C-alpha cells in the first residue's frame, strides 16, 4: 500500500488537498549541471519563474549556488545578489517560493523577502546556525518557514568520494534521522519539516535506484517527502529522454505518497504526477 500523503504546515491553503505538488527548479547560476547560464540574471530568472507557474508548478525553488558534483562554492554576497531580487519579485506576485541554500544568512534574507520554504541540501550541516535560524524565522504568514532537510554527506567537491554504505537506503535514512533530531533540538517543529532522501548526493548511479526502490526507508521519518531526481546523472544514464524519465519517477513518487517532486521540466511531469495521484487514491480503497 502507498504511504499517506503528508503535508507540512505554514503554506497557503491552495497547496492543500490530496495531490503531489510540483516544485519547479529555478537556478540563478552560471554553472548548474542542467540549466546553468540560462537564467543567471534577474529578469531572465523572473520570467522563467512565471513560465514554471504557467506550466503548473505550485512552488518555485530559487537557488543561487550550484550543487552539481565538483562545483565550487560562491561567496555569501554573490549568492544573495543572485537570489534576493528573484525571490522578492516572484513572492510579491503571490508565487510560493522556496530558497535553495545552505547558508542561514541567505535563508533569513530570503524569508524576509517573501520565501515560505527553506530548502537546505545539507540539512543544517553546512552552516551550524541554520537550525536555530529556521526555528527563529517567521514568514509573512506569521509562521516558521517550511524546512526541507536532505540527506547529505559533504560539499560538491568531495561528495562523490563519500558513496560508501552497507545498505544505502537504510544507512542514508538513519543518517538523515540524526540530522532531523538535531534540527528538532534547535527548535524546528516537526509540522514544518520535510525530508528529502538526497538522490544524486554522495550516491552512485546504482545506489540512487536502490534508495528509490526502498520507499519504506525514505518514508521512515513520518514526514512529508520531497523527491528530487530531475535530470540527474543516474536518470540521464538510462539513455532515454531525461525529462520523460524524470516524469516516470515523478509518477512513481506520487503513487507512493510524495508531498512534492522537484523538477526542471514541469510540463512533462505534471500529467505523470496526476496519474500517480489517481493510482494512489485507488490503491487506498
The confidence score (pLDDT) of residue 32 equals 46
Residues noted as catalytic: 232, 262
pLDDT digits (tens, 9 = 90+) for 266-282: 999 999 999 999 999 99
> CA torsion, points 254, 255, 256, 261, in degrees to nearest 10?
-10
pLDDT digits (tens, 9 = 90+) for 203-222: 999 999 999 999 999 999 99
Residue 41 has pLDDT above 90, yes or no: no
pLDDT digits (tens, 9 = 90+) for 223-245: 999 999 999 999 999 999 999 99
The confidence score (pLDDT) of residue 72 equals 78
Report, as an integer, the average pLDDT of 134-154: 95
Amino acid at each position: 500500500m502507498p504511504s499517506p500523503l503528508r503535508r507540512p504546515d505554514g503554506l497557503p491553503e491552495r497547496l492543500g488537498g490530496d495531490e503531489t505538488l510540483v516544485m519547479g527548479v529555478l537556478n540563478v547560476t552560471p554553472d548548474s549541471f542542467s540549466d546553468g547560464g540560462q537564467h543567471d540574471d534577474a529578469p531572465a530568472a523572473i520570467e522563467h519563474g512565471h513560465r514554471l507557474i504557467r506550466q503548473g508548478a505550485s512552488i518555485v525553488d530559487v537557488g543561487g549556488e550550484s550543487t552539481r558534483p565538483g562545483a565550487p562554492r560562491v561567496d555569501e554576497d554573490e549568492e544573495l545578489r543572485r537570489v534576493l531580487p528573484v525571490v522578492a519579485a516572484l513572492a510579491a506576485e503571490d508565487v510560493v517560493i522556496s530558497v535553495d541554500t545552505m547558508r542561514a544568512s541567505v535563508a533569513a534574507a530570503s524569508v524576509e523577502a517573501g520565501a515560505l520554504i527553506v530548502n537546505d541540501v545539507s540539512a543544517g550541516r553546512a552552516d551550524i546556525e541554520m537550525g536555530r535560524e529556521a526555528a527563529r524565522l517567521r514568514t509573512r504568514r506569521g509562521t516558521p518557514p517550511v524546512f526541507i532537510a536532505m540527506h547529505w554527506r559533504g560539499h560538491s567537491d568531495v561528495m562523490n568520494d563519500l558513496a560508501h554504505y552497507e545498505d544505502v537506503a537504510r544507512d542514508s535514512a538513519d543518517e538523515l534521522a540524526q540530522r532531523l533530531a538535531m534540527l528538532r533540538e534547535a527548535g524546528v517543529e516537526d509540522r514544518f519539516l520535510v525530508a528529502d532522501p538526497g538522490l544524486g548526493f554522495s550516491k552512485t548511479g546504482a545506489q540512487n535506484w536502490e534508495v528509490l526502490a526502498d520507499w519504506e526507508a525514505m518514508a521512515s521519518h513520518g514526514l512529508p517527502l520531497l523527491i528530487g531526481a530531475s535530470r540527474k546523472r543516474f536518470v540521464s544514464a538510462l539513455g532515454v529522454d531525461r525529462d520523460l524519465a524524470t516524469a516516470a519517477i515523478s509518477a512513481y513518487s506520487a503513487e507512493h505518497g510524495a508531498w512534492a517532486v522537484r523538477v526542471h521540466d514541469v510540463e512533462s511531469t505534471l500529467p505523470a504526477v496526476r496519474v500517480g495521484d489517481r493510482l494512489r487514491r485507488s490503491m487506498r480503497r
